Structure 1
Amino acid sequence: MAIEAVIWDFGGVFTTSPFEAFNRFEAERGLPADLIRQVNATDPDTNAWALFERNEIDAGRFDTLFLEESTRLGHPVRGADVLPLLSGALRPRMVEALKACKAAGFKVGCITNNVVSEHSPGQAEGQRMAGAMAQVMPLFDAIIESSKAGVRKPDPRIYLMMCDLLAVQPEACVYLDDLGINCKPAAGLGMQAIKVTGEAQALDDLSRIVGLEFP
Structure 2
Amino acid sequence: MDSAIKAVIFDVGGVLVKSPFIAISAYERELGLPANYINVSLSRRGSEGAFQRYERGELAYGEFVDQWTDELNDTETNNVAYRKYLQRHELDTRMVLPRQTRVSGDALFVGMMAVAETPNECMVELVRWLKACGYRVAALTNNFKDAGDSEKLKPLFDVFVESAVEGLRKPDQRFYLQACNRLEVSPGEALFLDDIPVNLRAAKELGMEVVRVEIGRETQAVDKVKRILRLRGAYPSSSSAKI
Secondary structure, aligned partner of 1:45:
helix
Q: What is the percent sequence identity of the aligned residues?
A: 35
**Bigger radius of gyration:** 2
Q: Output the CA distance in 2 between the equivalents of 1:57 and 1:15.
A: 24
Q: Output the CA distance in 2 between the equivalents of 1:180 and 1:102.
A: 26
Q: Output the CA distance in 1 between the equivalents of 2:135 and 2:126.
A: 11
TM, length-normalised to structure 2: 0.79
Match of 1:101 in 2: 130
| 1:85 pairs with 2:111 | yes
Q: Output the CA distance in 2 between the equivalents of 1:47 and 1:78.
A: 16
Secondary structure, aligned partner of 2:122:
helix
Does structure 2 conserve the Cα–Cα contact (< 8 Å) formed by 1:171 and 1:189?
yes
| 1:195 pairs with 2:212 | yes
Q: Output the CA distance in 2 between the equivalents of 1:92 and 1:154.
A: 26
Deviations 1:150-176 (A, max 9, x none): 000000000001111011000000000
Task: Choose which of 174, 180, 187 in structure 2 pairs with 1:170.
Answer: 187
| 1:112 pairs with 2:141 | yes
Q: Which runs of 5+ in 1 are unaligned?
A: 120-129
Task: Choose which of 140, 145, 160 in structure 2 pairs with 1:143.
Answer: 160
| 1:21 pairs with 2:23 | yes
TM, length-normalised to structure 1: 0.88
Q: Report the aligned-residue RMSD.
A: 1.7
Does structure 1 conserve the Cα–Cα contact (< 8 Å) formed by 2:23 and 2:108?
no
Match of 2:224 in 1: 205
Residue 79 and residue 214 in structure 1: after superposition, are their counterparts in 2 closer, same or farther (change >3 A)?
farther
Does structure 2 conserve the Cα–Cα contact (< 8 Å) formed by 1:11 and 1:18?
yes
Does structure 2 conserve the Cα–Cα contact (< 8 Å) formed by 1:52 and 1:115?
yes
Match of 2:55 in 1: 53
- Opposite residue 55 of structure 2, the aligned amino acid is E
C-alpha displacement at 1:82, in angstroms?
Answer: 1.8
Q: Output the CA distance in 2 between the equivalents of 1:83 and 1:21.
A: 9
Q: Output the CA distance in 2 between the equivalents of 1:57 and 1:209.
A: 39
C-alpha displacement at 1:23, in angstroms?
Answer: 0.9
> Which aligned segments of 4 or more residues in structure 1 are displaced greater than 6 angstroms?
none
C-alpha displacement at 1:134, in angstroms?
Answer: 4.3
Aligned residues: 203
Does structure 2 conserve the Cα–Cα contact (< 8 Å) formed by 1:113 and 1:146?
yes
C-alpha displacement at 1:135, in angstroms?
Answer: 4.2
Q: Which runs of 5+ in 2 are unaligned?
A: 76-97, 236-240
Match of 2:92 in 1: none
Q: Output the CA distance in 2 between the equivalents of 1:93 and 1:135.
A: 16
- Opposite residue 168 of structure 1, the aligned amino acid is V
